[in-house]
């Protein structure tokens, strides 16, 4: 065998090994799984959240000004709101239990808990969808906040 033939065989073998390792790592399925979770989250958001927080995650007008009832309008979940300022655990708790239950001390809110409507996996999917709409800067900050708040 010539030297060039041996190099070609070695290169093909190396490429095959890399392909096998890459496929075995789940790299091809991960992106598809992430997109499926985001798509599920978007459907759940439309069904359960958009009526208050907006179809485009824009929230209600003047969301930082209390209503006559003393309660606040629904905030946006896009980058103009404060959702990305909170760790995942708190966001899950608010969605599952409702804002009043999380804040406590007699706090009143129109945000109900969805724990009887959505499973924890479905709540995580809604958060995955919301986060997928944020610019990279907000996603990075929120990820760091989540990591810093972990026990």
- Would you place residue 1 in the very low, low, confident or very high pLDDT band (cuts 50, 70, 90)? low
Query: Is residue 3 domain-resident?
Result: no
Any idea which of 1-10, 28-37, 75-84 has the lowest mean pLDDT?
A: 1-10
Closest C-alpha to 90, from 75, 82, 47: 82
Whole-model pTM?
0.78
Query: Is residue 62 domain-resident?
Result: yes
**Where in the sequence is the domain holding 54, given as residue range(s)?**
30-149
- Would you place residue 27 in the very low, low, confident or very high pLDDT band (cuts 50, 70, 90)? very low
* Contacts (Cβ under 8 Å, ≥6 apart) of 45: 53, 57, 126, 129, 130
pLDDT over threshold 70, residue 121: yes
The CATH number covering residue 76 comes to: 1.10.760.10
pLDDT over threshold 70, residue 5: no
Structure tokens at 57: 């995650």
**What is the arithmetic mean of pLDDT over 67-81?**
95
> Cα–Cα distance between 38 and 43 in angstroms, integer?
9
* pLDDT at 8 (0 to 100): 47
Query: Is residue 12 domain-resident?
Result: no
Closest C-alpha to 114, from 53, 63, 55, 44: 44
- Please state the domain count of the chain: 1
């Amino acid at each position: 065998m010539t030297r060039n033939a041996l190099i070609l065989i070695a290169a093909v073998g190396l490429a095959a090994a890399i392909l096998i390792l890459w496929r075995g790592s789940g790299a091809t399925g991960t992106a598809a799984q992430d997109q499926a979770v985001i798509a599920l989250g978007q459907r759940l958001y439309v069904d359960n959240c958009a009526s208050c927080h907006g179809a485009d995650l824009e929230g209600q007008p003047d969301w930082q000004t209390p209503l006559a009832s003393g309660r606040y309008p629904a905030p946006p979940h896009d980058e103009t709101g404060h959702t990305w300022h909170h760790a995942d655990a708190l966001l899950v708790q608010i969605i599952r239990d409702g804002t009043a239950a999380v804040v406590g001390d007699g706090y009143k809110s129109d945000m109900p808990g969805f724990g009887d409507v959505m499973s924890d996996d479905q709540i995580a999917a809604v958060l995955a969808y919301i986060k997928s709409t944020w610019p990279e800067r907000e996603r990075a900050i929120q990820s760091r906040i989540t990591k810093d708040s972990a026990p």
